[in-house]
Amino acid sequence: MKFKKSIFIGLLLGVLVFGAFYPSVNFKERESMILHAVMNFLDQAHFTPKKVDDNFSKTIFDNYLKYIDGGKRFLTKSDLKQLEQHKTQIDDQMNGRTFEFFELSLQLLDKGVEKAQNYYQEVIDTDFDFSKKEELEFDNDKKPYASSDDELKDYWRKVVKYEVLSRMHEKKTSLEEKKDDEEIEEMSAEDILSDAREGTKKMYDRWFENVKKLRRSDRFEAYLNAITHGYDPHSDYFNPKEKQDFDINMGGKLEGIGARLRAEGDYIKIVEIIPGGPAWKGKELEVNDLIHKVTQKGEEPMDITGMRIDDVIQNIRGKKGTIVILTVKKEDGEMADIEITRDIVNIEETFAKSLILDVPDLVDKVGYIKLPKFYSSFEKEDGNSCAVDVANEIEKLKAENVNGIILDLRFNGGGSLRDVVDMTGLFIESGPIVQVKPRERKPFVYSDKDPEVRYDGPLLVMVNNYSASASEILAAALQDYGRAVIVGSNSTFGKGTVQRFFDLDDAIRGGKEFKPLGQVKMTMQKFYRIDGGSTQLRGVTPDIILPDNYSFIETGEKEYDDAMEWTKINAIPDYDQKVFELDNLSELAANSKRRVMAHPDFKLISENASRLKQMREETSISLNQNAFASLMEARENEAEKFEALMEDDIEGLQVATLLLDQKKIDQDEATKEKHEDWVSGVKKDIYIEEALHILADMSK
């Protein structure tokens, strides 16, 4: 850990030094300062620095167009022609810290949004010809830019017609299903059309309202990320608010009032009160309250009518101990001022949690640990650590004398590198966990140096296509050691890179009036398995593969245009564990395959995977009412076959909550309800059912 820290500090000091080479820089605009700082960091520290030339300029051009008009709803070919004059000039503008291309894009985009809104408003009230044979293409790569304003208007006609057609079909289907309900009034074809048109209008009015709330800074951040993503998909610019959100997501803690919000017209609606938080303790703020004003105690109230939700959130959050006053409208119409003292809020659903699973006559007392992400806020004295939390869950399960443990990392997108090393070490004596290679340097090894083994029994790790980064490090290490059976999709996500945050303020002297400038998250390293292979692009292939809905669809890192390549380095020569020996892996896999092939639900999942692949390949849809209805009915009939998947409890599966956890859960109804929903899902999960069968075979 000391070695890692010294490298980080050395690099940061290097950044401070190269920032000092520009003492005369005094940018007039904040954007120039941010671009300058971002480019310096990328050039000095990115794992694979790019040559900023015409080819890179073309990459930025393509990336940026996807961000600002990926659906080709605003710009025409004549707009594109104007922008293409800059296609090989963006690199020169970046080097000169100028923004001709960006400025032109804003002008054209503003005009395009205005035109699109006018076109939508024109066509929404027109008579659609639902007997006409025409199609709408949904694949943005196949769909060309409109060659003229007339063609763009016709595209909007098709888009709006599709939405109306979809709503009409949904309403007709709903009425047909409820035709025997005496309380449901019949609707004429004209009423159904009118209802569909009104629903479409509300949706697009709201959509254009949100599009028009996008600020210049939002577009500029898209431009910056078009640049950073030209290096790799995981290098990003973060404005100060986004960095705060990232830290909250990683640490599972925030300083605020403990409420989830959603935009509702011109106001912000309370949609959830987080149990244990300040708002929950105060009992005055309620779900469905509409916020009208936000006041920092001792200051003037701020009317938030029409304000963007992220700006409202920024004003509601604040340091522990400070007071915010919310002026809200209750459901009964009464206005109320609610004073809340901000505090630390734990986001419980982020954290590790466990259960005990039993299937009589098969296997009993199996510990099940769900880890949603590798969270960590170790820079704070009272910060969270998923490694510490998982260790605690293991101790609780051991106290219950479990006969095996399932660690569920499905949909776990990764997180803390430090924590994944510590967590992997819970299951082995000591030894290397992962190799990390910086730019143009030899790889160094992160090792578990603690000889204590927290759990020495049978271990199974569940993964899927969306298990990424730290999840892949743990799965790969335990697989290489032969310590656990890895079970899941045909491969994990395939993210084999390591990112670090750098504060852009450190790269620029002066300009206090423009700071904070934000931060850049940058790929600085690649990680490799202890056997030398990379998880980049290829991911981790489980020992036992189970079918899922994405078995025939490309998912993960390989979908990204600018993903880094797969590479291999030397294996670590000596690593071994003597905790638990997997000597029958091929037999376990063969037994599992036989069960899966005979399991009716897994058969259905394989069929559904083929259906989803076919639907994904059908990228256009008919706007002829009869053809549309036939297609929708065919798809609905096909889907009915799969609706019952994982709807029934698994026969014989018993799920128990640990007594220590139950006392805490019972203190609050909302927490209790969430826990019961989770337990209910576990009882229906056929992947967990198969994992229990595999553990039973391991015990034999």
The answer to whether 699 touches 458, Cβ cutoff 8 Å, is yes
- What pLDDT shows up at residue 664? 85
Residue 432, CA distances (Å) to 28, 274, 426, 481, 529 in order: 50, 40, 13, 10, 9
Give me 646's structure tokens: 């994982």
Q: What is the largest CA-CA distance in the chain?
A: 79
550: amino acid identity, one letter:
Y
Residue 49, CA distances (Å) to 4, 517, 626 in order: 21, 22, 55
| Cα angle: 18, vertex 22, 23; to 5 degrees | 120
Cα–Cα dist 575/531, whole Å: 9
Express as a percent the part of the chain with pLDDT over 70: 93
- What pLDDT shows up at residue 12? 33
The answer to whether 536 touches 496, Cβ cutoff 8 Å, is yes
Cα–Cα dist 399/47, whole Å: 45
Burial bucket for residue 92 (CB in 10 Å: 0-12, 13-18, 19+): middle
pLDDT of residue 378 exceeding 60? no
The answer to whether 293 touches 278, Cβ cutoff 8 Å, is no
The answer to whether 95 touches 56, Cβ cutoff 8 Å, is no
CA dihedral of 685, 686, 688, 693, whole degrees rounded to 10: 150
- Residue 250: pLDDT band with limits 50, 70, 90: low
Cα–Cα dist 37/51, whole Å: 17
- What pLDDT shows up at residue 670? 76
CA dihedral of 35, 38, 44, 49, whole degrees rounded to 10: -90
pLDDT of residue 25 exceeding 80? no
The answer to whether 94 touches 227, Cβ cutoff 8 Å, is yes
CA 268, distance to chain mean position in Å, is 23
- What pLDDT shows up at residue 511? 79
- Residue 314: pLDDT band with limits 50, 70, 90: confident
| Cβ partners under 8 Å of residue 65, min gap 6 | 75, 80, 83
Q: What is the mean pLDDT of residues 126-150?
A: 94
Closest among 356, 455, 366 to 696, alpha carbons compared: 366
N residues, the chain:
700
- Residue 249: pLDDT band with limits 50, 70, 90: low
Give me 474's structure tokens: 């743990």
Q: Which of 38-47, 112-121, 239-248, 484-493 has the lowest mean pLDDT?
A: 239-248
Which helix or strand (DSSP H or E) is residue 109 part of?
Answer: helix 100-123
Cα–Cα dist 237/41, whole Å: 11
Residue 500, CA distances (Å) to 224, 252, 386 in order: 17, 19, 19
Q: Which domains does the chain have, with CATH numbers?
A: 50-230 (no CATH), 253-346 (2.30.42.10), 348-497+530-699 (3.90.226.10)
CA 521, distance to chain mean position in Å, is 16
Give me 49's structure tokens: 């620095």
440: amino acid identity, one letter:
E
The answer to whether 385 touches 421, Cβ cutoff 8 Å, is no
Give me 553's structure tokens: 């669809």
pLDDT of residue 48 exceeding 80? yes
pLDDT in tens, 613-662: 998 899 999 999 999 999 999 988 888 888 888 889 999 999 999 988 99
pLDDT in tens, 545-596: 999 998 998 889 999 989 999 999 999 998 999 999 998 899 999 999 999 9
Closest among 481, 467, 443, 485 to 535, alpha carbons compared: 467
Residue showing tokens 């993903």: 563
Give the helix ranges, DSSP H, for 641-685: 659-665, 669-684
Sequential DSSP letters for 355-403: EEEEETTTEEEEEEEE---B-B-TTSTT--BHHHHHHHHHHHHHHTT-S
The answer to whether 274 touches 248, Cβ cutoff 8 Å, is no
- What pLDDT shows up at residue 184? 65
Express as a percent the part of the chain with pLDDT over 90: 67
Q: Which of 177-181, 328-332, 409-413 has the lowest mean pLDDT?
A: 177-181
The answer to whether 294 touches 313, Cβ cutoff 8 Å, is no
Closest among 695, 474, 446 to 580, alpha carbons compared: 695
Beta strands (DSSP E) in 44-178 are: 135-137
CA dihedral of 496, 500, 501, 507, whole degrees rounded to 10: -120
What 3-state DSSP class applies to 77? helix
pTM of structure: 0.86
Give me 482's structure tokens: 């032969």
The answer to whether 275 touches 670, Cβ cutoff 8 Å, is yes
Q: Which residue has the higher pLDDT, 210 or 352?
A: 352
The answer to whether 593 touches 543, Cβ cutoff 8 Å, is no
